[in-house]
Amino acid sequence: MLRSLLLTASASPRCKGFVEHSRLSRPVVARFVAGNDLDQAIAAARAVVTDRFASLDLLGEATVHRAAADRTAQSYVALVHRIGAEGLAGRVEVSVKLTALGLALPDGRGIALEHAREVCAAARDAGTTVTVDMEQYPYVDATLQTVRELRADFPDVGAVLQAYLRRTEADCRDLSGPSSRIRLCKGAYDEGASVAFRSRAQIDGSYRRCLRILMSGKGYPMVATHDPALITFAGELAEAYGRDRSEFEHQMLYGIRPRAQTTLAATGLRVRVYIPFGNAWYPYFMRRLGERPANLAFFLRSFAPGGRG
């Protein structure tokens, strides 16, 4: 119920205005978001890649104007050029949401595909890769079809699958062919019981089943979870299926369990940190609060007398 309330608040203009304009919230937001501009994002990535890898995400979604989608595509092209120019392409990729590239517009899939091709081509020239983020359930089919079309010319394009959706086991089998990059996460949106598992036990069970499909397949699994039990399970599966440490990776969010990230990387495992940046941080921030009670407690403490971010 708390998660649903926070996700509802993420769409509330009143809540948005309060959080965005409160000086007390800014230090807390800075824990999860690497700044507003490209320079800050590159600085955060450079700090991370001393021992890990990174995926940069220019925040924004549900674009309702073609001009805004065009600007987002241009910003991503500039981002991947900067990654290449900074010599970071070997350890830093980008993540992109298709609704930020125009998927929600009339004729949106064609617009988003055109923009995604531009970003993928620039990423290829820069020597890096692109992962297409997953969004709310109504966009799942369009997102996966776009990924399939992109992979015809850019076979290293990554896809994201959400374990809390009932369909995801089938999607894992369908998309995880040779060289396919699949990021498996639990899911951060509030979907109905007809399409999504609702309890933690159900979601964890689905994650384990989906991860087994990916680890036993021929693709490259990207294990996106902070759950210690699932991280351990991923290692057990990798060993059982004879996967080298270079044949899969763990992924975690910027600002969440940073010590666990560095500890895992110190064992020789590949760890990639998802680093969001930009002004459109509010929906992302609210989803992070909804995912873990500890995140919400951290946020609320900042508003208490003597609290800190």
The residues carrying an active-site annotation are 133, 183
Tell me if 54 sits within 8 A of 91, measured CB to CB. yes
Amino acid at 256: I
| Rounded distance between C-alpha atoms, residue 96 and residue 99, angstroms | 9
Please tell me what DSSP assigns to residue 196.
Answer: B
The residue whose two tokens read 């979604």 is 61
CA-wise closest residue to 137 among 192, 211, 60: 192
Query: Any idea what the Cα angle at residue 276 is, between residues 275 and 281, rounded to 5°?
Result: 155
| Rounded distance between C-alpha atoms, residue 132 and residue 305, angstroms | 41
| Rounded distance between C-alpha atoms, residue 26 and residue 8, angstroms | 21
